[in-house]
Homo-oligomer: A and B are copies of this chain.
Amino acid sequence: MLLLKLKHNNGIPLYNQITDQIKEMIERDVIKPGYKLPSTRTLADRLGVNRSTVYEAYQELWALGYIESRPGSYSFVRKRQELATGNTRKTKSIIPWNKQVSPASENIYRTLHLIRSEYTAESVPPNVINLSPLTMDKRLLPVEDFRKCMNKVLRESGTKVLDYGESNGYGKLRTYIANRLQLHSISVTADEVLITNGSQQGIDLILRLLTEPGSKIAVESPTYSLIIPLLKYFKLDVVSIPMLADGLDIDYLEKVLRKEKISLIYTIPNFQNPTGVTTDQVHRERLLGICEKHRVPIVEDGFEEEMKYFGNAVLPIKSMDKGGVVIYIGTFSKVLSPGIRIGWIAADKDCIERLAAIKRYSDLTSNAVVQGAIYEYCSRGYYDLHIKRMHRIFARRMKTAIKALRKYMPAGKVSWVEPAGGYLIWLKLENHKLDTLKLNKAGLRNGVLVSPGPYFFTGNKRGHEYFRICISTLNEEEIERGIRNLVKTIIQLEKS
């Protein structure tokens, strides 16, 4: 006999009280699987409630899996599958993920795992000057102006930006970017711009569009470290083009293009990551010329286009791209804010539309809320002012870095190329027996971290004699201190 006690007017609906009490009886084994529940009519009469109240309670119990047949006919208690909780969950998944995932995915995971097990930004002790990360100086993030713009856009266009955005990106922002690219002599329309989640997604989309497993692609070596695992993931056949003092070895590239079918070439012509090299006009014209001749798309990563604070601006390759072979990548991450995750691709419309189709199926659109705020920020002139400020600050910081290197580095032991802008300096230990992968262990004791060369190389060259320093997060005092700590570290390494 099912003994239920209902309280009227205690705020809990009657059907909930019935559900909860029966549920508890089942869970406490007071009534067992197979137990036949009274019909809805019988129970309703007995409790003095409406039949529909009992019906609703039974339906809930059925939905939750506590009773067996649909209400209406007789219902029986059933053994419900236990919930998975901290106690009942197996400590290990019964799926062996490391084996069940695609080998390429496992590879990318292991690579990341290796990198993570090293010093990450969070694990660095506060007294250490971290010359490694290419992120922004938090002290320079334009928080207050951005907040005002965000506030304005949510007040004035809130319903627009909280809804799905335009699939190629917020229209006004695409127009702004197209206009801004004109300042760098790049002539594109808003239709030839696709907004991406930072330049990293730009790279991913381009690789998805233009390659298949086994495709040959040409990249500078050394190059941007976060593209290297992606190339492996896509199972690409990487042709490494050596970086020389004035940019990628264009004679070498030309030979490659004459012999092989290359799907694309990825290049960073300004302040190349990691070497800091900026190619000159003649180099750019030659590169464009041979790629036009061989019909090979150039992916021009202009990630620091805006950081030409020393003047003498060489125009982007895209500025001369009459034949539509250059796919240009830009980003706000390295001059405004990486947390907003906004970058863009500017390319021939036929190419942009195909990239947009892949983006559509991979994440629909980019974040409309932040695109709206950034458009506001740019169109009100804050972006121009911010860039001017960044130029002023980093012209000083880079000069400080160069001065400190000249002053403190032991003559003949370390060499470097002075960059024409940006945040990066690439250094070389002249004693080839030293391995820059060992720099950070000693560096941590001396209060400095750098990015060892081998992170950036593709192909056979290991690059253990090189390392990269980055001044983007540090002020002048910190830069000077970091370099002094670095010198101390190198001297120790020489001796050991």
> Provided the pairs A93-B323, A93-B350, A285-B81 are in contact, do residues A102 and B209 lie with their beta carbons within 8 angstroms?
yes
Which residues of A90-133 are within 8 A (CB) of B?
90, 92-95, 97-98, 100-106, 108-109, 111-113
Copies in the complex: 2
Q: Is the CB of A315 within 8 A of B97?
A: no
- Report the minimal beta-carbon distance from A83 to chain B, rounded to whole angstroms: 5
A376 within 8 A of B: no
Q: Is the CB of A162 within 8 A of B339?
A: yes
Which of B105, B325, B337, B340 has a CB less than 8 Å from the CB of A358? B105
A90 contact set on B, CB distance < 8 A? 322-324
Q: Is the CB of A93 within 8 A of B312?
A: no
Q: Is the CB of B204 within 8 A of A361?
A: yes
A146 within 8 A of B: yes
Residue of B nearest to A297 (CB): B95
A94 contact set on B, CB distance < 8 A? 292, 295, 323-325
- Report the minimal beta-carbon distance from A443 to chain B, rounded to whole angstroms: 22
What is the bound-complex CA distance between A284 and B63, given in angstroms? 11
A53 within 8 A of B: no
Using an 8 Å CB-CB cutoff, how does the interface string of A172-214 with B read, 1 for contact, 0 for none? 0000000000000111000000001110110010001111110
A478 within 8 A of B: no
- Tally of A interface residues using CB under 8 Å: 123
> Provided the pairs A90-B324, A312-B60 are in contact, do residues A147 and B143 lie with their beta carbons within 8 angstroms?
no
A319 within 8 A of B: yes
- Report the minimal beta-carbon distance from A61 to chain B, rounded to whole angstroms: 9
> Provided the pairs A297-B95, A339-B367, A341-B363 are in contact, do residues A135 and B164 lie with their beta carbons within 8 angstroms?
yes
Q: Which of A226-234, A431-439, A451-459 contacts B (4 or more CB under 8 A)?
A: A226-234
What is the bound-complex CA distance between A374 and B366, given in angstroms? 16
Q: Is the CB of B147 within 8 A of A159?
A: no
A404 contact set on B, CB distance < 8 A? none
A489 within 8 A of B: no
Which of B81, B196, B288, B363 has a CB less than 8 Å from the CB of A201? B363
- Report the minimal beta-carbon distance from A305 to chain B, rounded to whole angstroms: 14
Q: Is the CB of B93 within 8 A of A354?
A: no
What is the bound-complex CA distance between A297 and B100, given in angstroms? 10
Q: Is the CB of A65 within 8 A of B285?
A: yes
A138 contact set on B, CB distance < 8 A? 159, 163
Q: Is the CB of B109 within 8 A of A354?
A: yes
What is the bound-complex CA distance between A276 and B209, given in angstroms? 35
Q: Which of A148-156, A395-403, A460-468 contacts B (4 or more CB under 8 A)?
A: A148-156
Q: Is the CB of B97 within 8 A of A187?
A: no
Q: Is the CB of B364 within 8 A of A84?
A: no
Q: Is the CB of B368 within 8 A of A339?
A: yes
Which of B97, B102, B281, B363 has a CB less than 8 Å from the CB of A348? B97
Q: Is the CB of B210 within 8 A of A102?
A: yes
Residue of B nearest to A91 (CB): B324
- Report the minimal beta-carbon distance from A260 to chain B, rounded to whole angstroms: 15
What is the bound-complex CA distance between A102 and B263, given in angstroms? 10
What is the bound-complex CA distance between A495 and B433, given in angstroms? 88
Q: Is the CB of A109 within 8 A of B341?
A: no
The 8 A-B pairs with the shortest beta carbon distances in the complex, nearest first, are A65-B281, A93-B324, A143-B158, A339-B368, A147-B154, A201-B363, A93-B348, A94-B323
Q: Name 20 A/B residue pairs within 8 A (Cβ), A-sorted.
A: A63-B280, A65-B281, A68-B282, A80-B281, A81-B285, A93-B348, A93-B350, A93-B351, A95-B323, A97-B350, A105-B354, A112-B357, A112-B361, A147-B151, A147-B158, A150-B150, A339-B369, A340-B369, A341-B366, A370-B370
